[in-house]
Structure 1
C-alpha cells in the first residue's frame, strides 16, 4: 500500500493506469461513490508494487509508503537508487509484523445492523466496545438490546466489551459521577450491576468511560476502578478505561485522571487523543501530531506500554467563518468531509506541522466554512507513532462513522491480535 496525493488534472482512471492498479480497487479502497476527486485528496493505492514515475526518488516513494528509505532499498537490491528510471517496478515491503490490539467503539443500532457491522469489522478488531450503558445516581444501570451483538462478536473471534458512561440527556455529567463515587452504597451497587451484566450476558469485560471527572474525585475514581477490578479479575474478565489526553498533570480540568494510578489497576487504557479543537472551540486540527506525541510521551512514563491504546478519531468538525465564541459547530465524519470537498470541488490542504488535512468552501448560502478532519495520511502518521512508542495498539471512535481506508491502514502497519 502507498498513499497518493491527488494533483490538479488527475482522475481516478489516470491514477489507476499510472500505477497499474484496477480502477475499482482504488474506488472501493477509498469509498468513492463518485470520481470527481479534488487536488490534495489522499488516496490509498492498494498494491505492493510501485511503478516509478518521472521525478520519483527512493526518498519520495518511501515517503508515500510510510517506510524508511533504507528498508525500501534493501527490499529492492537489484535497483540502484542512482539509476531509478520511470517504468521500473519497486516492491513495497510488508511491514505488518507489529502485533497490535485493535479496539473499536460501536453505538448499537438494530440487531441486523449490529450483526452486519461486526462481521465487516471483525478481521480488524481484538475488541469491540458496545456503546452504551449509563448509570443512575443510585448505581443502577439502564438496559440495552445487545444479545445479537455479543453473540456475533464471539462468533467472529472478537471480544465484546460493555461500555459504561456518565452520560445524561445533557451530556457527560461530572456531578453524577461525583455523587456516585462519594456514596459507598451507590458505588457498590454499580459494581454489583456491572458484574451481573458482564457475567450473565457473556461479555469479555467492561470499558469505563466516565468523562469530565472532577479533580476532587481523582482518588475515588481510581479506587472505584480497583474495586471493580477485584470483582472482575477472578472471573477472568477485563477492565478497560477511556481517559482524556494529558501532556502534564497540572491541567485543572484533567486532574481527575491519575494516569499512574489507573494504569496500575486496569488491563487497557484507551487514550482519547483527539478534540484538541472541537465543536465548541475555534477551528483547528482535531488530533495534531505534536500534541498526540506529547500525550504518548507523558503516558509511557506512567503507564505500562502494553496497556496503552492510542485513540483515533473517525471524525472532524465543520466551522463557519468567522468563528463566533459560544457557538457549537457540528462534527463530520472523515468520509463525509472528503465527500463535501468533492461536492464543492475545493482542494484539500495538508498541514505538515499538524499532520492534519483541512479545506475551506463557500456553501450555497454564501457562508464560508473551514473543515478539519483525518485522512489516510494523518492516520498513517499516528500508526507510525504506535510502532515508535511500542504501545499495545489503537482504538477508534466510532465504527458507525465509517472510514473505508481504515482496514488498509490497519493491516498495512499491524498484525491485529485475535482471541
Structure 2
C-alpha cells in the first residue's frame, strides 16, 4: 500500500499509470467519484509493488509505502540505496497488530442501523450506541431504536455498549453529575438504572461519558465507576469510560487516570478537539499532543486498557480580520470537496501530522480548515502500534471517511469479544 500526495497536473489516469494499478480500484478505496483532484490530496494506492520513477529515492518510496528503508532493502535484496528508473520494488506484507476497536454511532432509521453495523462490523470489537442522558434524579433518558441497534450489533458479532452521558440541551453539565455523585441515594439509583438498562436491553456493557467533571468530584467519580463495575462485572458486563486528554495531573483535574484505569475494563481517550468550534483555527488532533497524552496515560493506565479515540472530521472556521465569526464541523470528504470547489491546494503539517488549507468564500470571508486524511490517520494507527495499546476507535461513524476502513484493515486485525 502507498499513500500518494496529488501533485499539480496529476489525474486519476496518470496516477493509476504511475502505480500500474486499476483506476476503478483507486476510485473505490478513496471514495473519489469526481474526476478532478486537488494538489495535496492524499490517495491510497493498494498496490503491492512499485516501479521506480525519475526523481524517486528509497527514502521517498519508504515514506509513501509506510515501510522502513531497512525492510525495503531486505525485501528486495538491495545492497545499497541506489535505485534505477524502471526497477520493480516489492512491498513486504505488513504484520497486522491485534486490536479491539470501539466506534460510536447514533441510531437513526432501521435501514441506517443495519447499513452502519454491517459496513463497520469487520473493523470494530465494540459499538458505542449513543446516547442515554442522566438526569438530576439519577434516571436515564430513552433512546430511539436502541433495541434495533443492539440486535444489529450482536448479529454482526460486535459488542454493543450503552453510552451514558451528562449531556443536556445546554451542553455537558457538571452540575448534573455533581448532584448525582454527591448523593449516595441518587448515585445508587443511577447505578441500578444503568444495570437494568444493560440487562433488559441485552447490552454487553456501558461506556460512561461524563464530561467536565470538576476537581471536587474527582474521587467521587472514580468511586462511582468502581461501584458501577462492581455491579456489572459479576454478570459479565463491561465497564468502560471516555476520558478527556491529559498531559499532566493539572489537566482536567476531575479525572484520575490511575484511579479510573484501576476500576474499569478499559478507557477510550478522546484524542481530538484540541481546536474546535469555540477556539481559533488549528489542528484538531495533532500527533505531537496525542503522544504527550499517551506518555502520561501509559504511566497510569495499563496499555491493554487504552483505546485511542480518533476523529472522522475536521473544522471550517470563518474569519473576519483575524477574529472567528463561526465554525462548523466538516467530514473528511466534505473538507476535500471544499478545497476542490475553491481550487486551493491542501497543505500538510509534518509537526501535527494533519492537513489544512484556507480559502476566500463568495462573501469575501477567509476560512481556515483543518481535518483528517489518510496520512494523518496512518500516523495515528502507527502510534497505536508503537504504544502497544488495546486498540483504536472513532467519533463517529456517520461522518464520511472512505479511506479509514482500508487503513484499519491494513494495520490491524480485530480481536472479537462476542
TM category, shorter? over 0.9
Alignment correspondent of 2:269: 271
* Separation of aligned partners in 2, 1:302 and 1:255: 14
Distance 1:326 1:31 in 2: 31
Report if the CA contact (8 A) 1:104-1:129 is conserved.
yes
In the alignment, what sits opposite 1:185?
A: 185
Aligned twin of 1:347: 345
Deviation at 1:325, TM superposition (A): 5.6
CA positional deviation for 1:83: 4.4
How far apart in 2 are the matches of 1:363 and 1:295? 36
Task: Tell me if structure 1 keeps the 8 A contact 2:305–2:390.
Answer: yes
Counterpart of 2:301 in structure 1 is 303
- 2:231 counterpart SS class: helix
Q: Report deviation, 1:200.
A: 1.2
For residues 326 and 126 of structure 2, the distance between their equivalents in structure 1, rounded to whole angstroms, comes to 32
Alignment-derived partner of residue 139 in structure 1: 138
Question: Unaligned stretches of 5+ in structure 2?
Answer: none
Residue of structure 1 equivalent to 2:332: 334
Once residues 81 and 398 of structure 2 are traced to their aligned partners in structure 1, the CA distance between those partners, rounded to angstroms, is: 47
Structure 1: stretches of 5+ with no match in the other structure: none
Aligned ranges 1:329-408 → 2 under 5 Å: 329-408=327-406
Q: Structure 1's 143 and 36: CA in aligned 2 closer, same or farther, altered over 3 A?
A: same
Partner SS, residue 163 of structure 2: strand
Equivalent position SS for 1:401? coil
3-state secondary structure, aligned to 1:141: coil
- Cα distance, 1:86 vs structure 2: 2.4
Aligned to 2:411: 413
Contact 2:206 2:238 in 1 (8 A): yes
CA distance in 1, matches of 2:80, 2:276: 44
C-alpha separation in 1, matches of 2:290 and 2:150 = 32
- TM-score by length of structure 1 reads 0.96
Quote how far apart the aligned CAs of 1:352 are.
Answer: 1.1
**Cα deviations across residues 322-378 of structure 1 (Å, max 9, x unaligned)?**
476675411111121111111212100001111110001111222111100111101
TM-score (norm 2): 0.97
Q: 2:59 aligns to what? A: 59
Q: What is the CA-CA distance between 1:250 and the residue it aligns to?
A: 1.3
- CA 1:323 to 1:235, structure 2 compared with 1: closer, same or farther past 3 Å? farther
Cα displacement (A) at 1:287: 1.0
Superposed CA offset, 1:300-326 (max 9, x none): 000000000111011111112247667
Distance in 2 between residues matched to 1:95 and 1:179, nearest whole Å: 51
1:90 alignment partner in structure 2 = 89
Match of 2:198 in 1: 198
Matched, 1:250 2:250: yes
Query: 1:215 Cα shift?
Result: 0.8
Is 1:166 matched up with 2:161?
no
Shift of the 133–394 alpha-carbon distance from structure 1 to 2, 3 Å rule, reads same
Matched positions, count: 416
Deviation at 1:209, TM superposition (A): 0.4
- Report if aligned partners of 2:8, 2:39 keep a CA contact under 8 Å in 1: yes
Q: Whole-Å Cα distance in 2 between the matches of residues 287 and 160 of structure 1?
A: 26
Q: What secondary structure does 1:21 align onto?
A: coil
Is the contact made by 1:99 and 1:415 (CA closer than 8 Å) also made in structure 2? yes
Over residues 131-157 of structure 1, what are the superposed CA-to-partner deviations in whole Å (9 max), with x where a residue is unaligned?
001111111111122112111111111
1:150 matched to 2:150? The reply is yes
Name the SS of the counterpart of 1:336 in structure 2. helix
Corresponding residue of 1:43 = 43
Aligned residue for 2:254, secondary structure, equals: coil
Deviation per residue, 1:71-124 (Å, 9 max, x gap): 1222222x4444422232222222242111111111111111111111000111
